[in-house]
A = this chain, B = another copy of it.
Amino acid sequence: MKLLKDKVMAEGIVLGDQVLKVDSFLNHQMDPNLMKEIGREFVQRFEGQKITKILTIESSGIAPAIMTALELNVPMIFARKNKSLTLKNDIFVEKVYSFTKRETNEITVSKKFMHSNDNVLIIDDFLANGEAAFGLARIVQQSGANVVGIGIVIEKSFQPGAKLLQEAGFKLESLVKIASLENNTVTFVEE
């Protein structure tokens, strides 16, 4: 997605070999028109899939997910992150480890909003190790619903998440794929 690549080149800040900071348009300040275009692009990439729900995780996934939901005219659900919970019967729970924060969170979705006849598109801002995406997919699977695919705004292709998700059989669409952040430079995957 050229618009997004241009934005990464213009405003992305490389912090070491692993971290790309994009807090001017995606993770803290957000560009609403870019979010709208991202939503449209996801809808194109998953065209013809009869999506009934969008699922993301708080917080940075919410804006791209709501724009995708708007374009498709379907509900969006954001999974909540919690340190730990007393077990409840009315929620789906999965554990997700964050390598960045070095902590495990429980992510939850209410059973009221996901059912076995749903076709769910998972959306998230970043893909690195794939922990969040796998956690969201396991929640969809718990509900008996179908994972239509996984849409990612920025994939760090040099980390294992993308390969692992594809090996697990998920249709993965990443709008921007980053091959490397070495030498303080963003190098995109050639396509």
Contact = CB atoms under 8 A, between A and B. Distances in A.
A182 interface: no
Contacts of A69: 30, 32
A126 to B, nearest CB: 16
Count identical subunits in the complex.
Answer: 2
A103 to B, nearest CB: 11
Interface residues on chain A, size class: 20 to 34
Most buried by B among A29, A35, A78: A29
Contact of A110 (B28, B30, B62): B28
A17 interface: no
A75 B109 CA distance: 29
Contacts of A63: 62-63, 66, 76
Interface string A69-80: 110011111101
B29 A76 contact: yes
Closest 6 CB pairs of A and B: A32-B70, A58-B59, A32-B69, A62-B62, A29-B113, A63-B66
Interface of A: 23-24, 28-33, 35-36, 58-59, 62-63, 66-67, 69-70, 73-78, 80, 109-110, 112-113
12 contacts: A24-B112, A28-B78, A28-B110, A28-B113, A29-B75, A29-B113, A30-B69, A31-B75, A32-B70, A59-B62, A59-B80, A63-B76
